[in-house]
């Protein structure tokens, strides 16, 4: 498969995941996280089975899509459950814990740690190979700060609407994941492959573009910071 084919295949997960976020929010608010997640995980199991038995690209894509549908409610279902079972003052901590466990040791990041991530990304783009493992670990550690907006949003809406609110925010995140993951594959095709591998320059350009976009968003958000007091 070409990089764009592979990117489209893997991003099918994100596309279906994102497409289901709005109905997911309605279902979570109406039926609660327990029943919704129990049902969705059946689809996830079916997707895993189909993916494991697949013999072609179409079947692989179907398996990925079912996996995306099946696990689309795991994080949002957890956050919805937290809004029902715990006071709003504890949501940020609980969201951090659920992501920490899911990320095998990651923890909720503060602003300085988040900044070390918008840095690690540019180091990856620059092709710093000697400390690649440490840089990737640093990025994963800092990127966990992306969970904080869910707690912030939940405090501005009634509890009965939190499912819709957090899933509406989630849909944009996963649509962006779909677009960028596919886009990286398309961009890599601009460089000729050598022995089935694409040169590091292609990856540097792709990651560099994403890094610049992240920096632009950070500069846009900085003036919106809450003023002390």
Task: Write the pLDDT tens digit of every residue in 62-99.
Answer: 898 999 899 888 877 887 888 888 887 777 777 777 76
According to the model, what pLDDT value does residue 104 have?
Answer: 54
Is residue 94 included in any domain, yes or no? yes
Q: What is the pTM of this model?
A: 0.51
Is residue 140 included in any domain, yes or no? yes
List the beta bridge partners of residue 194.
197
Residue 105 falls in which region: left (phi positive, over 0), alpha (psi -120 to 50) or beta: left
Please give the residue that has the higher pLDDT: either 1 or 43. 43
Is residue 8 included in any domain, yes or no? yes
- The percent of the chain in helix, strand and coil, each rounded to the nearest 5, is 80, 0, 20
Q: Say if residues 29 and 81 touch (Cβ distance below 8 Å).
A: no
Number of domains forming the structure of the chain: 1
Is residue 229 included in any domain, yes or no? no
Mean predicted confidence (pLDDT) in 110-114 = 49
Most confident of 15-19, 43-47, 54-58, 128-132: 43-47
Distance, in Å, from the CA atom of 91 to the CA atom of 94, rounded to the nearest integer, reads 5
Mean predicted confidence (pLDDT) in 172-188 = 79
Query: 138-168 pLDDT, tens per residue?
Result: 666 666 666 667 666 767 777 777 777 777 7
Q: Domain of 30? A: 3-224
């Amino acid at each position: 498969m070409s990089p764009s084919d592979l990117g489209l295949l893997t991003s099918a997960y994100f596309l279906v995941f994102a497409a289901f976020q709005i109905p997911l929010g309605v279902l979570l608010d109406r039926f609660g996280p327990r029943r919704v997640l129990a049902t969705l995980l059946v689809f996830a199991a079916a997707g895993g089975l189909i993916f494991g038995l697949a013999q072609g690209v179409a079947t692989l894509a179907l398996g990925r899509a079912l996996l995306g549908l099946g696990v689309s409610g795991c994080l949002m279902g957890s956050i919805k459950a937290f809004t029902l079972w715990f006071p709003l003052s504890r949501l940020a901590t609980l969201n951090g814990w659920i992501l920490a466990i899911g990320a095998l040791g990651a923890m909720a990041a503060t602003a300085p740690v988040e900044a070390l991530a918008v840095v690690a990304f540019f180091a990856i783009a620059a092709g710093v190979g000697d400390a690649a493992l440490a840089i990737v670990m640093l990025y994963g550690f800092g990127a966990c700060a992306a969970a904080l907006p869910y707690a912030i949003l939940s405090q501005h809406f009634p509890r009965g609407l939190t499912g819709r609110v957090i899933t509406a925010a989630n849909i944009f995140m996963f649509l962006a994941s779909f677009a960028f993951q596919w886009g990286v594959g398309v961009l890599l095709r601009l460089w000729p492959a050598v022995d089935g591998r694409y040169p590091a320059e292609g990856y540097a350009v792709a990651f560099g573009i994403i890094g610049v976009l992240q920096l632009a968003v950070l500069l846009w958000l900085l003036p919106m910071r809450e003023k002390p007091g």
